[in-house]
Structure 1
Amino acid sequence: MVSPLLHRTPPPPTSSLLFRHRRTRVSCSSSAHVSFIKNVAVTEPPLHLQHLLNVLQTRGETVISPGAKQGLIPLAIPLSQNLSGSVTALLRWPTAPPGMDMPVVEVWRNGVWLLARNVDEYIHRILVEEDAKDGSKLYHAAAEAGETLYRKGDFSESRLENLDSYVLKKVGMFPDVLERKVSRHFEEGDHVSAMVTGEFYTKNALFPGFGRPFVYYANILLRLIDLQGRPELRGKRRC
């Protein structure tokens, strides 16, 4: 579940991003991250970065120094670390398209998984998922950002069939949600919809710079070929 393209992407011009530091805890204040993004990554910090850090810390992750990059790809700007050891980070593309926000990613030693295309979409999704479980702790942690991005109760009032449908319609596009949508189509035996959704997943405007959608779509096509050749397996195997 990683992007194969990221490991072949050259580092940004500034060599400061390649510095390695021992991973240390920091306070929930975003000042260190804001300074790093402005002065080292040389780009504009996300408006609701502080609120995202609050949310991450509230749900049990440890906020870490933006310079704690040892073992991570040089393009990642660390935000927090969870108990499994993976790091939530921002991704600083060296040649990002004009107007493109920094994506939120989860980073392991061996790869990267796209969590959200920007900070606001990530916060918004977290709040919707919490509301679907009748929680409010993270909503309060998001403070004014939460009030701006999501109105509590909107998911239940929407009467959409499931949480994933709400997220895609009201929040934004997310790789794991689209992949679950494909899997459901296969489970229902709707192979045409599975293929169409997979092709939609590969559109460059959705997740520019990430290779995962193309790998996933290739696997969809291989599965469809397999199903055509082995009718007894149709509707019985997960993607």
Structure 2
Amino acid sequence: MKLSTMIITLSLPRFTSCFVSRSIHPATSIAASSISLQSSRLFGKSSDEETELIGVGVSRLDTLQTLLSERGAPGSRGCSQGGGDIVPIPLSSSSSSEFKDLHPHLLPLARSQSTGNVICALRRAYADDAGYDSPSLASPWPIVESAVGLPGMRLLSLNSEHLMRRICADTDANLEGDDAQRILELYNDGLGSGSLGAMDVPYEMGSVEKLGYGLEKYVLLRVGPFPDLYETMANQHLSRGDEESSLIAAEASNGKFGGFGSTFAFYAKLLSSLPNREEECRDAARMCVRMPLPSMGLTVSDFATVSKMAQYADAADNTETALQKLRDMYEKIREHEQDENNGDKSVKQTAMEDANYLLDIACLTGQKYGEVREEIANIYRSAGMESDADFADRIQ
């Protein structure tokens, strides 16, 4: 790597984490007064201890789990099959030891019987001791796909209400008669008790056809942003030879899902398919290292691809070598940032960065997340972040 390139890379500020974050991208920031959360007892460490009542930022959880079981999760890799393949995970079972090696900030909601992949809610942590307005913990939790033992996650939706509305639109476009009506009735029952006021209007059969632009455009125009649909849009433009529109779609996705490296990974992949875009591809891939590393993809293969597109690794390197080179650069960036920002962080900001470092290294080295849960909880607890500590340490 050229020295000038390394200096530019090291001088870029690292983006705030979507897992341990100081701020939320505007697309995900919703006033706490509009949120209606389901509360559940999650953190009983033994049958003799009193459990702690906490808010779960997943609107209408029972409805979400039913719709997932019926229709699957649109946009997922391994949880898209409906017809009962997706089995709800009761909140009382979410702290079971079988989920110990799931990313510590994920709450499992449902699991595919055929693939083992898990639909989860992502619980963020915030520094409320910093000199700015910290987002409320009442903000909705993004919905992601992951699995026990996988290093990363795949963003599906910014919140549960968007995902449920999309499932309805998919049903409207692909089912007919009583089967479709039954799904829509499941969704419409309980509207008004969710987290997004804009989603409180009942879904009407025929809405996709009435708009006249097809399912995917209906979802983007009438429901909300979804990363997989922006990828589809970009690929469709490219297949028609419209390079400019393809890149615009990918860039729009980067702006709508702040804190997730996977959108930049797709952008880099798109650029890599175009002539004379090597440097832009490299720079887009390097943006992934500015995000929480588990957010750049679902599998180690996804991470290795990013390392190669970023030109940290060579195209001929195997996965293990590519990940090691990615880690080497990650460590250099972190060391540079620590030198630049020494003494410039609040107690909770420092705790969040320390926790994020453990998670990043675990996903790069293959260390089981269960092995770092207690240490992460101790970091949070030492900074007075008790609820974050309890969530990370709820699985013994």
Instruction: Tell me the TM-score normalized by structure 2.
Output: 0.45
Percent identity between the two aligned chains? 26
Q: What residue is the counterpart of 2:78 in the other structure?
A: none
Deviation at 1:40, TM superposition (A): 6.1
- 1:89 equivalent to 2:116? Answer no
Q: What residue is the counterpart of 1:220 in the other structure?
A: 270
Taking the aligned partners of 2:156 and 2:219, their CA distance within structure 1 comes to 13
- 1:46 equivalent to 2:58? Answer yes
| 8 Å CA contact retained: 1:54, 1:142 | no
Q: What residue is the counterpart of 2:250 in the other structure?
A: 198
Deviation at 1:127, TM superposition (A): 0.6
Q: What residue is the counterpart of 1:20 in the other structure?
A: none
Taking the aligned partners of 2:18 and 2:262, their CA distance within structure 1 comes to 14
Taking the aligned partners of 1:149 and 1:187, their CA distance within structure 2 comes to 36
| 8 Å CA contact retained: 1:178, 1:197 | yes
| 8 Å CA contact retained: 2:40, 2:53 | no
1:188-228 CA-partner distances (Å, limit 9, x unpaired): 0000101111111111xx21221011111122222223589
Alignment map for 1:117-128 (pairs within 5 Å): 117-128=158-169
- 1:71 equivalent to 2:101? Answer yes
Relative distance call for 1:40 and 1:121 in structure 2 (3 A) is farther
Q: Equivalent residue of 1:85, what SS?
A: coil
Taking the aligned partners of 1:189 and 1:196, their CA distance within structure 2 comes to 14
| 8 Å CA contact retained: 2:87, 2:111 | yes
Deviation at 1:186, TM superposition (A): 0.6
Q: Say which structure, 1 or 2, has more relative contact order (CA 8 Å, 6+ apart).
A: 2
Q: What residue is the counterpart of 1:104 in the other structure?
A: 143
Taking the aligned partners of 2:18 and 2:217, their CA distance within structure 1 comes to 34
- 1:211 equivalent to 2:241? Answer no
Alignment map for 1:1-239 (pairs within 5 Å): 34-36=40-42, 42-58=54-70, 59=82, 60=84, 61-64=86-89, 65-68=93-96, 69-83=99-113, 84-95=115-126, 97-98=135-136, 100-108=139-147, 109-110=149-150, 111-134=152-175, 135-145=180-190, 148-160=201-213, 162-203=214-255, 206-226=256-276
| 8 Å CA contact retained: 1:41, 1:92 | no
| 8 Å CA contact retained: 1:124, 1:149 | no
Deviation at 1:42, TM superposition (A): 4.2
Taking the aligned partners of 1:207 and 1:105, their CA distance within structure 2 comes to 12
Q: Equivalent residue of 1:224, what SS?
A: coil
* Structure 1 portions without partners, runs of 5+: 12-30, 229-239
| 8 Å CA contact retained: 1:186, 1:194 | yes
Taking the aligned partners of 2:53 and 2:123, their CA distance within structure 1 comes to 7
Deviation at 1:63, TM superposition (A): 1.4
Q: Equivalent residue of 2:233, what SS?
A: helix
Q: Equivalent residue of 1:72, what SS?
A: coil
Task: Output the aligned Cα RMSD.
Answer: 3.2
Larger proportion of helix: 2
Q: Equivalent residue of 1:46, what SS?
A: coil
Q: Equivalent residue of 1:102, what SS?
A: coil
Taking the aligned partners of 2:117 and 2:52, their CA distance within structure 1 comes to 23
Q: Give the partner amino acid of 2:252.
A: F
Instruction: Tell me the TM-score normalized by structure 1.
Output: 0.73
How many residues end up aligned between the 2 structures? 201
1:24-73 CA-partner distances (Å, limit 9, x unpaired): xxxxxxx8x73339x76944543322211222233412112221322210
* Structure 2 portions without partners, runs of 5+: 1-14, 22-37, 44-50, 71-81, 127-133, 192-199, 279-396
| 8 Å CA contact retained: 1:51, 1:143 | no
| 8 Å CA contact retained: 1:120, 1:149 | no
Q: Give the partner amino acid of 1:55.
A: L
